[in-house]
Each structure stands twice: as structure tokens, then as C-alpha cells.
Amino acid sequence: MEDALLKIKGVSKHFGGVYAVNGVSLEVNPGGICGLVGPNGSGKSTLFGTILGLHKPDQGEIYFQNEFINHLPPHTIYERGLVNAFQIPRLFYSLSVMDNMLVAARGQEGDRLFNSLFLRGRWQKQEKGLIEEALDTLEIIELEPWAFTPAAELSGGQRKLLEIGRALMARPTLLLLDEPAAGINPVLGKKIFQKLKALSAAGMAIFVVEHRLEILFEFASWVYVMDKGRIAIAGEPQDIIDNPDFYAIYLGEE
Amino acid sequence: MDPLLYVLDLIVFIGIFGIVSLSLNLEFGFAGLANFGKVAFFLIGAYTYALLSQAGIPFYLCLIASALISAIFGLVISLPALRLRADYLAIAILAFGEILRLIVKSEDWLAGGDWGVTVARAISITGASHRVDALINIGLVYFCLLIFFVIIQLLANSPYGRAMRAIREDELAAEVMGKDRTKFKAQALMLGSAMAGVAGGLYAQYLHCVLPGMFMPMITFTVWIMVLLGGPGNNWGVLLGATLVEVFERGTNIAKDYIDLPVDPSNLQYILFGALIIFVLLYRPQGILKESKIRSKAQRLAFNGRRSAKNKGS
């Protein structure tokens, strides 16, 4: 398809002699949730890191909105609207929950040295709107009562929620999520996916790694299965479930 | 010696080192850069001031030049140094400071080598007493301190300062959240160096001279003690730290005239400083004052609004 949001062509990444990602090609289309599953060590997180610009691919090409992004530094890729939430939360722990949210907003006027000192009116006005937006998102992830406490005081599950909420503050065009439902109670996990589904219906594309297959298969519209650094199977959730190879890869059954 | 003059002199020193600790607070407290070469930029500022004022340039231009040239050096050293990991950065800048000191010490043509350069007072009134002279210096030093304090305070409470603190907390996460870490760090180092440069200029003109021996690495460590003691990330804290350390340093020097000890107490100073820093890091790692929260106007409004709503509800 020509208008795929994210296009990956033959990307490989090796660490030493080990190919973590080996000739992966895939596409993520705008709108909808696209899943990526596979056993541990199959290269999912490395693939995400490569898309984000954290690792430069050894081979292959990555296009985002038809722009070649292999060579771009991570912060530029972020400004393009390709946003990530880590599997293990990497919050700014001494900052408040609110500040963690505000840091993530894209295109802030006050992010520049000159503006922060001399165009104070401009960013303060923007900041006011961002705070409202942050409070709304915090309400959804049930963190609003903690808005002004340091992130370090949150529980494990809450940290995970903040990691996702923070990514949403950037109003991503494409959101990469690494196991959003892991470590969160099942009810809230499902609620998050419902919210993601609503966001994707509103135009945000989501590319998600998830081991909780029952949740993922309910919401995803397309799923890639990775094994040993390669894409082994791709298809709609129902096709994946019906494919006997999938069980062999995932559960190690012969 | 005139006791009042002694106090005035102390106040000038607190002001000058207050500026240097504010600059280290910007670099270390907010941006997380372990700058162990603070004295290098202090030296650059002092020598810039000394050489330019010798050439007959008015003092305010000399101070501006001190700021600019230190900032340029800060930027230049940041380019290779920021590629290094934090601990290597610290060692690289520390070495840079020593190299600079040895250059001015051994290159006689540059600034008189070991003999240094005599520096004229910024503002001198003929026939003025030492006290008036010290008071003029207090005015000048605290004017600069106020400007820098306001700048850093405004930065700390802006999205820029927030991004800086995010980089300090987790560089990689901040980079993936759209913050250009190299740019932020280079700017912090540039701005911090400019401030240290101005402090150096003020120091040179107050002491009437620059000598290589005035810029030993101990200056850097003293400033670090000020920041760690007072509270990194809190501008009031580091000023408090600067005051306490200066008073302590002077205090031990005075005490030696009154207490009979088998050793010179001014040598004991370094041992006491060492013990103090271990004590602070063990029992109060955040310093005397805790890191200040980020409070932009909009945030304050949201925070207060919520609190009043909560009070009404209960």
C-alpha cells in the first residue's frame, strides 16, 4: 500500500554476531491497532528501538509518512509524531506527575532558551492549555489525584499508566507501545485498550507489542508474528489464531 | 585590621562565589552535568578582564567580554566533552582547568606568567577609604548576582528548565521524548561558563591582580561543596551554601589567632571540608534545602485551584 504510515524495508540490526532483527519488512497503516507478537528474544524491542532511532539499522530502510528516517536522531523522530512508551517505565522520577506529562508535549514554545526567558507570555498561554489536557488524560488513567506528587511515589502499575499517559500527551501520529497491559490489573488493562481503540478510531495509529494475546486479538486489526529476528506470520487476528505455525512459534509446541 | 572591613570583604567574597555556585547549580543541579572544571572558566573570565582592562577598556565592557569569551570556551569544550559519559566528562574538564592554569603560569608573554597582571579597580574614587571601596564592590558584585539569580530562577520554572531536569533524570528517555540532549547540555555549559567568567572578572578587579596561584583546582571543589551543601536544584540553597562555606573558611582563619593548636587550622580546613562533604552526602544527600519544584504561573494556578476545590469539598 502506498500510503502506509510506517514502512520498514529489509531492516537488520545485529549486536556482535547475533542478529536481533534480521531482514524485517512490514507496514503500519494509519488508524487502527497493529500488533506485534513473538516469544521473548525474538527481536520485538530491538525493532522498536531501531524505529525510534535508538539503534541505527545495519541494513534496510525505514520510512515514516514517506520520509526516510534512518539517519534522524530520536528527538527529531519524536517531533515528527512517532512516539514511544517503554516496556519498563522510564519516568523522570524526581519530577511531579504533572511535569512528566508536560515534558512530553510536542512543539513547546518554552523549550527554547530564548523563548523561555523573553517570550514568557507565549509559552505560559500554551502551558495553560497543556495543563488542562494533562489533567484530562490523568483522569482517564486514574492518576489525577496524584498530579502534583513526585513520580517516584507512584506504585508499579501507576508508573506504567503514567508512561502511557505521557506518550499520549504528545498527540502521536503513530504510537509505539511495548507491552502496555503488562503489570496492570486485567480490568484496567482492558480499559486502556478500549481507550486506545477509541484513539485509533479518531486517527491515531498504534503499533503494539503485547503478550496478553486475548486482549490484543480482541482489539488489533492486523498482527505480525516475529520469531528469531524475522517476521514469521502476518495477518488478521483470526488468521493468526487459526495458523498452526503460530502455536509452534509461541508456545514451542511441535 | 578594621573589623568592619573584614565583614565587608566577606560579603564581597560570598557574592562572587555565590555567582559561581549559581552557575554550577545550573549545570549540575538542573542539567546534571558534573563540571569539575569550574575554575577554568573562572580563570578565563579573570584573565580576560585583566588583559582588557590593562588595555584601557571600560570595566563593563571587560565584564561582558569575560562572559562572552568564557561562554565560547564553554561551548568549544562542550562539543567533544558532551560525547563522553558523565564521569569522563568530569575528568576531561578537570584536566582542562589545570592545563589552562599551567599555560598562563608558563607562558610569560601572555599574562606575566607567575608574576601575573595588576588589575585596576572597576570603579575607583580618588581618596575613598577601603570601606567605601569595599561597598562599591558589594554593589557591583550583587548587581551581577541579582541578574544571574533572576535568569536562572526564570529558566528553572519554565518548560526549558523542565526539559533540563528531565535530561538529568534520564537522558535517553528525554531524548526519545523529543529533547535534544546535546543542545540542552551545551547551552547549560555555555551559560554556566559565562556566569563563572563574570565572577572571575569581578574577582580579578577586586583583588587588584591575577596570578596563576589564584586558580588552583581547590576553587572548583569549594564551589562543589557550596552547591552540595546548600542543595543542588535550589537557587536559594546554593547561595546559602556559598555563605556558609565562606563564613566557615574565614572563621577558621580568624580562629587560628585565638586558639592555640599544634597544627595550623587553615590546613585543617581541607580535612574539615572533606569530612563535611562526606557527612552531607551520607545523611542529607539533597542538601540543606530540597530541590525547588517547577512552578510556572499556569502550574501555580492549576495547583492552587485544585487545593481550594479540595478544601471546599471537605
Cell numbers linked to A221:
486489526
pLDDT value, residue A97 = 92
Q: Mean pLDDT over residues A165-179, rounded?
A: 90
Q: Nearest chain A residue to B160 by CA: give it.
A: A111
Q: Which chain B residues are within 8 Å of A98, Cβ to Cβ?
A: 299, 302
Minimal CA–CA distance to B20: which of B83, B86, B97?
B97
Name the minimum distance, in Å, from the CA of B278 to any CA of chain A.
23
Whether residue B314 is contained in a domain is answered as no
Rounded Cα distance between B40 and A249, Å, is 60
A&B contacts, CB < 8 Å: 110
pLDDT for B1: 63
List the single residue in B159, B165, B181 with the smallest CB-CB distance to A92: B165
Residue B59 counted as domain residue = yes
What ipTM did this prediction achieve?
0.86
In chain A, which residue's Cα lies nearest the Cα of B181?
A: A75
* Predicted local confidence at residue A109, as pLDDT: 83
Whether residue B155 is contained in a domain is answered as yes
What mean pLDDT is predicted for residues A61-76?
90
pLDDT value at residue B223: 93
The domain segmentation of chain A, as residue ranges, is: 6-91+155-251, 95-153
A134: cell is 494533562
The tally of CA atoms less than 13 A away on the side-chain side of residue B203 is 29
pLDDT in the model for residue B152: 94
Arithmetic mean of pLDDT, A33-55: 88
Three-state secondary structure along B23-81? HHHHHHHHCCCCCCCHHHHHHHHHHHHHHHHHCCCCHHHHHHHHHHHHHHHHHHHHHHH
Greatest CA separation found in chain B? 75
Give the global pTM.
0.87
A6-91+155-251 in CATH: which number? Answer: 3.40.50.300
Query: Is residue B145 in some structural domain?
Result: yes
* Residue B33 to residue B40: CA distance in whole angstroms: 15
Label residue A1 by pLDDT band (50, 70, 90). very low
Using DSSP's 3-state secondary structure scheme, residue A11 falls into strand
- List b or e across B275-292, with b for residues whose CB sees 16 or more CB atoms inside 10 angstroms: ebeeebeeeeeebbbebb
Say which residue the cell 488508524 belongs to. A31
Three cell numbers at B77? 569544550
Domain count for chain B, please give it: 1
pLDDT of residue A122: 86
Q: Out of A90, A113, A120, name the one closest to residue B187 (CB).
A: A113
| Average pLDDT across chain A, whole number | 86
Measured between CB atoms, which of A75, A99, A135 is closest to B178?
A: A75
* DSSP conformation class of A96: B
CA A18 – CA A12 distance, rounded (Å):
11
Q: What is the pLDDT of residue B314?
A: 40
Cα separation, A141 vs A147, whole angstroms = 11
> Can you tell me the distance from the alpha carbon of B63 to that of B69, in angstroms, rounded to the nearest whole number?
10
State residue B308's pLDDT score: 64
Extract the C-alpha cell encoding B6: 573584614
Q: What is the extent of the structural domain holding B189?
A: 3-215
pLDDT score at A253 = 56
Q: Which of B291, B153, B144 is nearest to B232 (CA)?
A: B291
B259-293: per-residue pLDDT in tens? 777 777 677 777 888 888 888 888 888 888 888 88
Q: In the prediction, which pLDDT does B313 show?
A: 47
Nearest CA in chain B to A125: B298
Question: What is the rounded distance in angstroms from the CA atom of residue A27 to the CA atom of residue A9?
Answer: 9
- Which chain B positions have a beta carbon within 8 Å of A69's beta carbon? none
| Cα B188 to Cα B71: distance, rounded to the nearest angstrom | 10
* Separation of alpha carbons A221 and A236, rounded Å: 6
Mean pLDDT for A207-217 is 87
Q: What pLDDT, on the 0 to 100 scale, is given for residue B267?
A: 74
d(CA A175, CA A85): 8
Residues of chain B with pLDDT under 70: 1, 265, 306-314
